[in-house]
Structure 1
């Protein structure tokens, strides 16, 4: 019920901002923010879908858990989470609003700790076979 309530409130805030408070009249940077945000959002969506498909392909093999390899999996354990974070960063740029930025922060607060837990699980499960330089969700950082 909490997740349902949050998503309902978030959808209301995002729609309300876009429909009533955006105030785009005379904003000379609107198209730059919209274009840049859409590029970030689209890139994040592509990463998210690609990573999810790769993970589902590993499960389809039926031979138990395996270490994901290739693409962003060479740098982070959870590129699907990175993709989703990028999506909502793009949305925050497109809307240029506290509502969009708040949802981006909530997404980070939710997915970064989950990525850390997944990364820890991979390290425990695969031990020395798991790449030691791979980060949890943000390449070269965390």
Structure 2
């Protein structure tokens, strides 16, 4: 059974390159993101969006006790810090690498487009319900930067340096389709969220999201985010890409579960308890 599973996997991904760095990054990316998802479920949230300042110890410390200063950014500035270095890394790879194979070109293009979309959303779509601490923005920035660099480097090693043969089952076309569906669905549901947010100068007011897949789950934008990275993994077909995507899925599952609980606490009499967190009718 184990040998059969390994045989199936070997037809879907490149062999793992003999690189201590890539092996370590595969393990670190998966475990750190999965642990972050578990922390979200347990109530220890990454402090941005509606969970801004949720776990800040200053909220609970005695007033007379000397408190540690937390450097705070606006939500927009924090997200730009989080996304811009990864975009620069992906765009640089797109311009500077000699892409001898279509797969490497598609991967760099997809990652560049993904983070460009995020930056444009930060500037023109998102409306922010809270700030972001530097101690949150910097880890998110490093996570995206390292994962982007590792994904591109792992592809470069497998395809161009080591010259591994292509996986027996080519998933590039399916990856492009998933990527387009994911990035489009994520943008659409971010747009729906932005239309609900209070305008500048108005009193902040939360509402239960409506429209699109918001009629079935509370975090469809996370579902499409996972779809986007699944598409990237299909384009890449490397162990690292799938490890990062699996970790991202677990983190966003935890975040969506916490988000549903947050809405339930805010709208006790109006929140539809049949709503799922992430996947319609399932979770």
Normalising by the residue count of structure 2, what TM-score does the alignment of the two structures yield?
Answer: 0.46
Q: Which residue of 2 aligns with 1:40?
A: 178
The CA distance in 2 between the partners of 1:11 and 1:26, in whole Å, is 21
- Unpaired runs of 5+ residues, structure 2, are 1-137
- Number of matched residues? 140
Q: Which residue of 2 aligns with 1:57?
A: 195
- Shift of residue 67, structure 1, vs aligned partner: 1.2
Matched, 1:118 2:252: no
Deviation at 1:26, TM superposition (A): 5.6
Structure 2 equivalent of residue 29 of structure 1: 169
Q: What is the rounded CA distance, in whole Å, between the counterparts of 2:236 and 2:187 in structure 1?
A: 23
> Measured at CA, do residues 36 and 132 of structure 1 come closer, stay the same or move farther in structure 2, by a change above 3 Å?
same
CA 1:66–1:91 in structure 2 vs 1: closer, same or farther (change >3 Å)? Answer: same
Specify the alignment match of 2:140 in structure 1: 3
1:71 aligns with one of 212, 218, 232? 212
Higher gyration radius (CA): 2
Return the match for 2:156 from 19, 30, 36: 19
Runs of 4+ in 1 over 4 A off after TM superposition: 23-28
User: How large is the Cα RMSD of the aligned pairs?
Assistant: 1.9
* Cα contact 2:276–2:282 (8 A) shared by 1: yes
CA deviations over 1:58-107 (Å, ceiling 9, x no partner): 01454611111121001110111111011111111111111110110121
> TM-score of the superposition, structure 1-length normalised?
0.87
- Asked if the contact 2:192/2:211 (under 8 Å) is kept, the reply is no
Structure 1: segments with no counterpart, 5+ residues: none
Q: Counterparts of 1:9 and 1:77 in 2: how far apart (Å)?
A: 29
1:82 matched to which residue of 2? 223
Report which of the two has the higher share of helix: 1
